[in-house]
Chain A
Amino acid sequence: MIKLNPKLSQKLSYTLLFMATMLAIIPVLVIIFFIVKNGASSISWEFLTSMPRNGMRAGGILPAIVGTFSIVVCAIIITLPIGVCAAIYLNEYAKDNLLTRIIKLAIVNLAGVPSVVYGLFGLGIFVMFLKLGVSIIAGALTLSIMELPVIITTAKGALNSVPQSFREASLSLGVTRWQTIRYVVLPNALPGILTGAILSIARISGETAPILFTVAVFYVPNLPNSIFDQVMTLPYHLYIVSTQIPNMPKNVIYGTTLVLMMMVLTMSFVAIFGRAYFRKHRKW
């Protein structure tokens, strides 16, 4: 075997590792570049704030933006409290027994279920069985079921990273277990919980399969009035304009993509900067 000189092999491995990193991010950058290049021209105030016209080929995408926004907000209002409560139970109270282990295993595995399965489940349970119909609430509930394991997992991680020594310090002052959670553990875990939540929002904003059968429709002439209305959504609208309508102007497709992407990226950045800010300025 040829023995490389150590200096050379050091250089070589560095180059290889660096190339692997590049390989990972270049496609993403190329995609973003293309979308921005082709989509930027169609973004205008009108595009963001008016209804589609001319069989979606002109006008704006306001109903899709409003639709996605309302589903996601409903979903997070449902998941966050439930997820945090479950995480507190699992991290702070649950004894390590068979039941707990089954629950934990289930949570890990639920996060891996394909999203179309959740979509069909939502159709069966919320739309048909509970007779919610194709509606914001049915879609939000479906997304909630899908996102709950993720929220529980990130919240549990955030709770778990609060040092045990803080808990012991609080308990040793005669503070009860619940008060310790309330005044010591939760404030310390909050930044982590919130970033997890924002990343979840970002993720579900782009989901298509779960909302396909439960809330999204091809076209509605009005904005929604209540959570029992059907709505258009960005990911589904994107699917429609790119595949279902002949003679679709390309800039509408790229514009819609850009809006969806900006929405998701903005939320991710908010999460990242929020976390950094909390770390620096934490009162806790």
Chain B
Amino acid sequence: MSKIEIKNFNLYYGNFHALKDISISIEEKRITAMIGPSGCGKSTLLRSINRINDTIEGVKTEGEVNIEGVNIYNDNVDVDFLRRNVGMVFQRPNPFPISIYENVAFGLRVNRIASSKEIIDETVEKSLKSVLLWDNMKDKLHKSALTLTLEQQQRLCIARGIAVAPHIILLDEPCSSLDPVATREIEELMIRLKDDYTIVIVTHNMQQAARISQDTAFMLLGKLIEFSKTDKIFTNPSKKETDDYVSGRFG
């Protein structure tokens, strides 16, 4: 069974039909990339997987998004619990303006997942280790998160998400505000995380998709044009639009 199975999914912003009949199956413990020109609906699709689009007024959806066989758009789904299982990292690093430690502990505390200091300490350490921030930061845990570099902030945001133990991580152009060196670092981190999490990443950068992902979805104007192994999308796509896009003829 696929980890995430989207079936005939449509999304409207008011009258604007942003996602048109999308069907896609995303496999567990792989990196799936979503590429396509600006405005094609990549972020919208990604944000449908943890229902964060619900917070935008006037959004309507049709169809299904199944995670482990359960349609998350069912009425009886606990959206907050869903979001705990499906973490999200945003385009601009958005740590809270509190200490590094408190950022990672935030979800644990507020969701009352853990209250004992030992467990929180332990989870903070484990989360920071898994994003390779621990060695540098273990003595500065109580400094403000805003003192970090952008790359470190983005790592911290990933750690903050990991701390509440999701099994899926959605990333929306996580490297677009970073320089090339920092981008490579975050890419390596994602490749490491793939062994434990199912990762879906939206990217503008086709080289990035080619470097890190196993599967790639190509979208255009709200439609899913092609979805298959990354190698195939970049070397031998079956649709003409995909070929035009990946070879740089438009977009």
A172, A175, A176, A284: the one within 8 Å of B97 (CB): A284
Per-residue contact bits, chain B 80-121, to A (CB 8 Å; 1 contact, 0 not): 111111011010101111100000001100110000000000
A131 lies within 8 A of chain B by Cβ: no
What A residues does B107 contact at CB under 8 A?
173-175
Determine how close the nearest CB of chain B comes to the CB of A101; give it in whole angstroms: 13
A161 lies within 8 A of chain B by Cβ: no
Which A residues from 171 to 189 make CB contacts under 8 A with B? 171-176, 179, 183-184, 188
Interface size classification for chain A? 20 to 34
Determine how close the nearest CB of chain A comes to the CB of B115; give it in whole angstroms: 15
Determine how close the nearest CB of chain A comes to the CB of B110; give it in whole angstroms: 5
A168 to B50, CA, bound (A): 11
B50, B81, B85, B94: the one within 8 Å of A169 (CB): B94
Please tell me if the beta carbons of A166 and B96 are within 8 angstroms of each other in the complex: yes
Interface size on B, residues (CB 8 A): 27
Task: With CB as the reference atom, state the residue of chain B lying closest to A168.
Answer: B52
Per-residue contact bits, chain A 202-221, to B (CB 8 Å; 1 contact, 0 not): 00000000000000000000
B57 lies within 8 A of chain A by Cβ: yes
Please tell me if the beta carbons of A171 and B55 are within 8 angstroms of each other in the complex: yes
Given the interface pairs A172-B83, A175-B80, A179-B110, the reply to whether A165 lies near B55 with Cβ below 8 Å is no
Please tell me if the beta carbons of B96 and A169 are within 8 angstroms of each other in the complex: yes
**One of B27-35, B156-164, B204-212 contacting the partner:** B156-164
Determine how close the nearest CB of chain A comes to the CB of B60; give it in whole angstroms: 14
Please tell me if the beta carbons of B90 and A168 are within 8 angstroms of each other in the complex: yes
Which A residues from 136 to 182 make CB contacts under 8 A with B? 163, 165-176, 179
Task: With CB as the reference atom, state the residue of chain B lying closest to A184.
Answer: B96
B52, B81, B98, B164: the one within 8 Å of A171 (CB): B52
What A residues does B55 contact at CB under 8 A?
167-168, 171
Which B residues from 160 to 211 make CB contacts under 8 A with A? 160-161, 164
Pick the most buried of B50, B106, B110, B164: most chain A CB atoms within 10 A of its CB: B110
A165, A176, A188, A282: the one within 8 Å of B92 (CB): A165
Please tell me if the beta carbons of B90 and A165 are within 8 angstroms of each other in the complex: yes
Please tell me if the beta carbons of B80 and A176 are within 8 angstroms of each other in the complex: yes
Given the interface pairs A96-B57, A183-B110, the reply to whether A174 lies near B94 with Cβ below 8 Å is no
What A residues does B52 contact at CB under 8 A?
168, 171-172
Please tell me if the beta carbons of A173 and B96 are within 8 angstroms of each other in the complex: no
What B residues does A168 contact at CB under 8 A?
52, 55, 88, 90, 94
What A residues does B92 contact at CB under 8 A?
165
Write 21 A-B pairs (CB below 8 A) sorted by A numbering.
Answer: A166-B94, A166-B96, A168-B52, A168-B94, A169-B94, A169-B95, A169-B96, A169-B157, A172-B83, A172-B88, A172-B161, A173-B84, A173-B87, A173-B106, A173-B107, A174-B84, A174-B111, A175-B80, A175-B110, A175-B111, A188-B97
